[in-house]
Amino acid sequence: MTLKLAIMKLINKTILITGGGAGIGLALATVLAGQNNKVISTGRSLDKLQDAKKLIPSLQFFQSDVADPASIDLLFEQLKQQGVVLDVLFNNAGVIETWDIANQFIPSAAIFNKIDTNLAGPISITQQFIRQADRGKENYIVNVTTDAAIMPVPILPLYSSSKAGLSAFTQALRIQLTGSNFKVVEIIPPSVETKMTTEDLNNTTKLVKPDHFAVNVVKKIEAGKLEYAPSINAILLKLIRRFFPKSGLKLIDKVSRKQLL
């Protein structure tokens, strides 16, 4: 089923992008700033945000950690003090890591940090966004998930489970906000050429350029789509989940281990 709504141009909006210093977030910031929007990016790395500012002179940024509740609260307090009212939120920040739990140890604090980055942080930011928004205007909440939310990649258990949680939150939020001026969009990216895929996962397969993907994301949102999943993998995974859930999961594990380990 195709989820669509009335067309809204992303022009002259005030937009917050988490994880906007690099990768998909930076590409989105570039496209949206080019459409006369006021774009505000956040991220953990001040260096990346400053580099992004050099590429996008109109960009505003805040060093802010989506995994830190105090940092999220401070961000929205600073926005309020500056008189900024956001129209559009892109929950884009995310982290990924392979983890063979029987053979690798990750400290408990690191586990919480990764889950908070991918799930609790976006949920908290969404609540803050809704509370500060002008409810008389059209507002957009755009959550970037993954096709691993459709069927988990066993060697990526933290990423798969946290992003699946974000996908479930997105669907629940869309129902809760039905009839309001909040539109909730889910973006399920293909394999995009970012540090996450090339360095964190050492993915050497053919990858989509982030600028090309960002242009298409904006076009699909403007066309009224509430879900954008351009990869053939997303379609195949939905079929596998429905018809071959057990054997399909074993196949995914075999292929991903060969590709990522």
pLDDT band at 246 (very low <50, low <70, confident <90, very high): very high
- 240 domain-assigned: yes
Which of 61-75, 197-211, 214-228, 236-250 has the weakest average pLDDT?
197-211
Specify if 6 maps to a domain.
Answer: no
Looking at residue 7, what is its pLDDT? 58
Q: How many domains does the chain have?
A: 1
Determine the structural domain holding residue 223 and report its residue range: 14-260
Q: State yes or no: pLDDT of 3 exceeds 80.
A: no
pLDDT at residue 5 greater than cutoff 80:
no
Give residue-wise pLDDT tens across range 141-169. Answer: 999 999 999 999 999 999 999 999 999 99
- Percentage of the chain beyond pLDDT 90 is 88
pLDDT at 120 over 60: yes
Q: What is the structure's pLDDT at 197?
A: 72
- The average pLDDT across 74-98 equals 97
Please give the mean pLDDT across all residues of the chain: 94
Structure tokens at 244: 């071959």
Give the full edge-to-edge strand order of the sheet including 14-18. Answer: 60-63, 38-43, 14-18, 88-91, 139-144, 182-187, 227-228
Residue 40 has pLDDT above 50, yes or no: yes
Task: Report pLDDT for 259.
Answer: 83
Read off the CATH number of the domain in which 70 is found.
3.40.50.720
Residue 94 lies in a domain: yes
Domain presence at residue 133: yes
Whole-number percent of the chain with pLDDT over 70: 94
In a domain, 101, yes or no: yes
Query: Per mean pLDDT, which range of 61-65, 101-105, 196-200, 251-255 is the poorest?
Result: 196-200
Residues forming beta bridges with residue 18, ordered by sequence position: 42
* Digit-coded pLDDT (tens) for 180-206: 999 999 999 988 988 777 666 767 677
- The answer to the question of residue 2 being in a domain is no
Work out the average pLDDT over 105-122: 98
pLDDT at 200: 65
**Residue 64 clears pLDDT 80, i.e. is over it:** yes
Q: What pLDDT, on a 0 to 100 scale, did the predictor assign at position 260?
A: 86
pLDDT in tens, 198-235: 666 767 677 899 999 999 999 999 999 999 999 999 99
Instruction: Give the integer Cα–Cα distance in Å for 138 and 86.
Output: 11
On whether residue 7 sits in a domain, the answer given is no
Q: What pLDDT sits at residue 182? A: 97
Please check the confidence at residue 1 and state whether its pLDDT lies above 50: no
Q: Determine, yes or no, domain membership for 50.
A: yes
